[in-house]
Amino acid sequence: MTGQPSSSGLSAGASASTEPVRRPRLFAPALAMVVLAALIGVASWLGYRLSYDTALTRQAERGQVQMRLYTQALASELARYDHVPGLLSLDERIEALLAHPRDAARVAAANAYLVALNARAGTRVVYVLDAHGNVLAASNWQRPDSYLGEDLSFRPYFHAAMEGQLGRFYGVGTTRSESGYYLSAPIGPRDSPIGVAVVKIGLEAVEQHWQGTGIPDMQMLLADENGVVILASEPSWRLLALKPMSDEQRQRLIHSLQYNRAPLAPLAFQPVRKLRNGDTLVSLRGGPPMLAQSAALPGTDWHLELLSNTMQARVAALNTAALSGVVAAFVLLLGAAWNVRRRIIGERLAARAALEAANSELERKVAERTADLSQANAQLQAEVAERTRTEAVLRQTQDGLLQAGKLATVGQMSTGIAHELNQPLAALRTLSGNTQKFLERGDYETARTNLSTIIGLVERMGRITGALKSFARKPGNGRRGARLDEAVDNALFLLDTRVQALQPDIVRDIEPGLAVVCEPNRLEQVLVNLIGNALDASESPGAQGTPRLELRATVSGGKAHLTVRDSGPGLSEDAFARLFEPFFTTKPAGQGLGLGLTLSAGILNEYGGSLRASNHPDGGACFTLTLPLAEPEAEANSA
Ligand code: ADP
């Protein structure tokens, strides 16, 4: 609604400002996925790290045990020869040699002793130096590469011994480039030795043992005080510098001939990480990380280095990382599912609450409406009761009115009826007087004739009073059907005096037996009104020619139509407008009440019929009454 563009150029900016409102909806799931992935990643990393460190700690513990074994083995191997140089200083042949170094017999005796000692001790070479560092006797005196006569004063073990200490030294032989462990001891008094006893031990056996153990994923090396690898399970590492070395230091070591001019290239282990227990993770030339553990070799400045492959720890860590990731994903998804469930339940509860609220609101409204309806109903019932009462009163009034109208008609007819009755009465008096005389004369025949006439007259009078009585009585509840021709006959009989007086031409066209739905007495009342009005009109001043009364009945649409036409002046405009108005009359006082047509229309309406007035084109008024045709049974009952 806000984005609806208007004619103004500003609206584009206004609508654009409402756009970004939608974005977070698309962004939210993506953000949730990123957060989820990040959490899984963190869990995996933590799992990896924890498992890796734990595995490394275990590996380090195993390594420690291993190192202890190796260092002990190595230390005891070296210690085995500690006493050998000391032994030499005690022997008198050596002493004699040092006293007379040029005496060939003493040299030979010393050499023989050294050969025997070397063989016994299992060392590589045993030899004796004088106080200047020259070799006086050696166990390998017979060999072409014998040290005999060599000046070894440059060797540090010589200096150490000359200072009265036990010398230990690893070096590579200058003659055969054979590496070995040199042990030296002073001969003679400690403060001023007269010579030095030296034992050379080969450590190949130890190295071969290391290589022979064949423990996979594990390397051992032994570095001397200069950090140069002197023994290694990996042969190519030998004589490489373990620690970074300055050029000056390297040159000095090369010149010392300790390693027989070996270049002492660096064996560069790059540190990767230091562990909490002090061990380090290192990698060689970008290779896989290895756990490096170090232990000093007792009694020496050397140290043993154990390098173990961390492959297993890494595989275990990767497994744990994968497991942690899966568990984290499961927990997070479980959390998400729980959250969704919680939200759904919340929404359901809210919907239920809303429904209940709507329900109670509906019930309240229904109750309100019901109350309103009940009230309206009660009011309606009261109104209906009032109407029924009013209708009853009206009906009563109408019945009274009808009766009054009928009685008024009777009143109007009374003069004629009196005349009608007086004539036979006068005739009766004359006839009975005459009959008396005829009887006295014995003229029985004439008397019988007179009596027959008298009976006829009495019967006629009886018929008149009977008709009047029947007309004047209140209608009963019984008959519902009436024969139209009979009703017309009765009406004409009631109006007979007036008909006799006017002598109109009467035209009757009514199918005999045609029955309509109406109480006969009521139908007669209507017909007496209509025919009475027609007679009135036909003798009124405006009437045309010979008085004429037409009574024609037709049947159509299940109804009977009876038209009463007269030869009167017809209906004036005023009369047309007010015909069915109660008390409308144009007749002089005493003749008209103005109720005849009103009551007639009322009676016909009551039986489902109607009354229509018109002027005939050839003159005279036409009144047409319409009533439903009666069922044959109803008609039969009425007979
Ligand atoms: P009343 O006959 O007592 O006057 P009605 O209700 O029968 O009462 O008639 C009302 C009036 O209708 C009459 O006074 C008369 O003016 C007029 N009227 C009725 N019938 C005819 C007719 N056939 N011709 C002319 N006028 C009539």
CATH number of the domain residue 95 falls in: 3.30.450.20
pLDDT for 637 equals 47
More confident residue, 223 or 405: 223
pLDDT tens per residue across span 62-103: 888 988 888 888 888 888 888 888 888 888 888 888 888 888
Could you give the CA distance from residue 456 to residue 450 in angstroms, rounded to a whole number?
Answer: 10
Q: 619 vs 352, 549, 570, CA distance in Å?
A: 84, 12, 6
Edge-first strand listing for the sheet containing 269-274 = 229-232, 218-223, 303-309, 290-296, 280-284, 269-274
Residues 127 and 259 in one domain: no
Q: Is residue 365 part of a domain?
A: no
- Given CA atoms 414, 420, 424, 426 in this order, what sign does their dihedral have? positive
Beta carbon of 533 within 6 Å of any ligand 1 atom = yes
Is the per-residue pLDDT at 548 higher than 60? Answer: yes
Residues 187 and 222 in one domain: no
Give the CA angle between residues 121, 124, 125 to the nearest 5°. Answer: 95
Q: Which amino acid is at 380?
A: L
By alpha-carbon position, which residue is closest to atom 11 of ligand 1? 585
Residues 214 and 147 in one domain: no
Which has the minimum average pLDDT: 256-265, 323-332, 342-351, 375-384? Answer: 256-265
509: CATH = 3.30.565.10
Beta carbon of 571 within 6 Å of any ligand 1 atom = yes
In the chain, how many domains are there? 3
Residues 619 and 596 in one domain: yes
Residues 96 and 226 in one domain: no
pLDDT tens per residue across span 292-317: 999 998 878 888 989 888 888 889 99
Q: Is residue 338 part of a domain?
A: no
By alpha-carbon position, which residue is closest to atom 23 of ligand 1? 534
Residues 141 and 209 in one domain: no
Q: Is residue 434 part of a domain?
A: no
Mean pLDDT of 229-250: 85
CA of 533, closest atom in ligand 1:
20
Query: Which domain-ending residue is among 274, 309, 344?
Result: 309
Residues 155 and 209 in one domain: no
Q: Is residue 556 part of a domain?
A: yes
Residue 201's DSSP bridge partners are 181
Is the per-residue pLDDT at 344 higher than 90? Answer: yes
Give the CA angle between residues 410, 414, 416 to the nearest 5°. Answer: 120
Could you give the CA distance from residue 140 to residue 112 in angstroms, rounded to a whole number?
Answer: 10
Residues 90 and 228 in one domain: no
Is the per-residue pLDDT at 188 higher than 90? Answer: no
Q: Is residue 113 part of a domain?
A: yes
> Strand pairing of 290-296 and 303-309?
antiparallel
Residue 323's DSSP bridge partners are none
Which has the minimum average pLDDT: 386-395, 436-445, 468-477? Answer: 468-477
Could you give the CA distance from residue 163 to residue 186 in angstroms, rounded to a whole number?
Answer: 8
Residues 154 and 222 in one domain: no
Query: Which domain-ending residue is among 294, 309, 324?
Result: 309
CA of 620, closest atom in ligand 1:
24
Query: Which domain-ending residue is among 281, 309, 337?
Result: 309
Beta carbon of 207 within 6 Å of any ligand 1 atom = no
The residues, ordered by sequence, that sit 6+ positions from 322 with a Cβ below 8 Å of its Cβ are: 44
| Domain containing residue 140 | 84-169+182-191
Select from 574, 585, 614 the residue to mutate for testing ligand 1; criterion: most ligand atoms less than 8 Å from CB.
Answer: 585
Residues 155 and 219 in one domain: no
Residues 490 and 622 in one domain: yes
Beta carbon of 602 within 6 Å of any ligand 1 atom = no
pLDDT tens per residue across span 422-451: 888 888 999 999 999 999 999 999 999 999
Q: Report CA(354)–ligand 1 centroid distance (Å).
A: 75
Beta carbon of 447 within 6 Å of any ligand 1 atom = no
Whether the Cβ atoms of residue 207 and residue 221 lie closer than 8 Å to each other: no
pLDDT for 507 equals 95
Which has the minimum average pLDDT: 68-82, 335-349, 516-530? Answer: 68-82
Residues 578 and 507 in one domain: yes
